[in-house]
């Protein structure tokens, strides 16, 4: 029994899913490493396997973990294209749209995700939702005029925009917008993209996602996107 299993079944589920996702990585690949408690176990598994891979990381936290386990981590510009990326999510809807950014790494996660030929998302089953929105929509915004930006986000229908303490690895502010349940993730994503000062938002559209590895009480299963 692992230490995770001994203390908390949900932690054990996350470990199982994270380790399963690591099986998609093979020797010689260029790999994007995401951020979060489930992907943590993907990175641990990759460190144990001692593969000859080149990685890029979506956060300082992930980079430090990967390096501590002996993985080669280089800037994304050194790789350009990635064979596979593995990342977590805060919400996953039936169309594979995601809410991401609870950990504050959304901008780097979106850049790295779009570099990937195959992008695999790993979550526990509690992250599966009928509609995005309950979690809130994370934002990374410039510190230049946060009040102006927030008012424009509220004009799109957000009931509130709250600035988090601390900032992103990029030196910007992090915020959470509350839209309630989101009927049109694609439309809202486009509207947020159009606001000057919004560096990035936490809506990741489903066409990015190849599959979702889901951990639950019945073990690990996959949802495959036949996009």
99-139 per-position pLDDT tens digit: 999 999 999 999 999 999 999 999 999 999 999 999 999 99
Percent of the chain with pLDDT over 90: 90
Kindly state the tokens that stand for 195.
């606001």
pLDDT of residue 1: 44
Question: What's the average model confidence in pLDDT over 152-168?
Answer: 97
Question: What's the average model confidence in pLDDT over 152-162?
Answer: 98
> Whole-model pTM?
0.93
pLDDT of residue 44: 97
Give span(s): CATH 3.30.70.260, the chain: 137-201
CA-to-CA distance for 199 and 86, rounded, in angstroms? 22
The CA-to-CA distance between both ends of the chain, in Å, stands at: 38
Nearest to 152 by CA among 190, 187, 196, 121: 196
**What CATH code is assigned to 3-125+206-214?**
3.40.50.1360
Question: What are the b/e assignments for 39-67, b being 16+ CB within 10 Å?
Answer: bbbbbbbbbeeebebbbbbbbebbbebbe
CA-to-CA distance for 146 and 149, rounded, in angstroms? 5
Give the confidence band of 7 by pLDDT, cuts at 50, 70, 90: low
The CATH T-level fold of domain 137-201 is Alpha-Beta Plaits (3.30.70)
CA-to-CA distance for 61 and 169, rounded, in angstroms? 9
Phi, psi angles (nearest 5°) of residue 99: -100, 130
Give span(s): CATH 3.40.50.1360, the chain: 3-125+206-214
SS3 113: helix
Give the confidence band of 5 by pLDDT, cuts at 50, 70, 90: very low
Name the packing angle between helices 9-22 and 39-49 (round to 10°). 50
- 53-92 confidence digits (pLDDT tens): 999 999 999 999 999 999 999 999 999 999 999 999 999 9
Supply the residues annotated as catalytic: 109
Mean pLDDT of the chain: 95
């Amino acid at each position: 029994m692992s230490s995770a299993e001994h203390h908390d079944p949900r932690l054990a589920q996350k470990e199982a899913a994270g380790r399963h996702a690591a099986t998609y990585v093979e020797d010689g690949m260029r790999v994007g490493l995401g951020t979060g408690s489930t992907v943590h176990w993907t990175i641990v598994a990759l460190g144990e396997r001692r593969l000859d891979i080149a990685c890029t990381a979506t956060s300082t936290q992930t980079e430090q973990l990967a390096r501590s386990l002996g993985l080669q981590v280089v800037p994304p510009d050194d790789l350009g294209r990635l064979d596979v990326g593995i990342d977590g999510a805060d919400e996953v809807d039936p169309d594979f749209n995601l809410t991401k950014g609870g950990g504050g790494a959304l901008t780097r996660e979106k850049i790295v995700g779009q570099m990937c030929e195959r992008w695999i998302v790993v979550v526990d089953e509690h992250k599966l939702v009928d509609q995005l929105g309950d979690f809130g929509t994370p934002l990374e915004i410039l510190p230049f005029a946060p009040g102006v930006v927030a008012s424009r986000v509220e004009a799109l229908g957000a009931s509130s925009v709250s600035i988090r303490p601390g900032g992103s690895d990029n030196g910007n502010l992090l915020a959470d917008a509350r839209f309630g349940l989101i009927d049109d993730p694609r439309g809202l994503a486009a509207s947020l993209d159009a606001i000057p000062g919004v560096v990035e938002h936490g809506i990741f559209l489903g066409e990015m996602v190849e599959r979702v590895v889901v951990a639950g009480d019945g073990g690990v299963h996959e949802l495959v996107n036949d996009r």
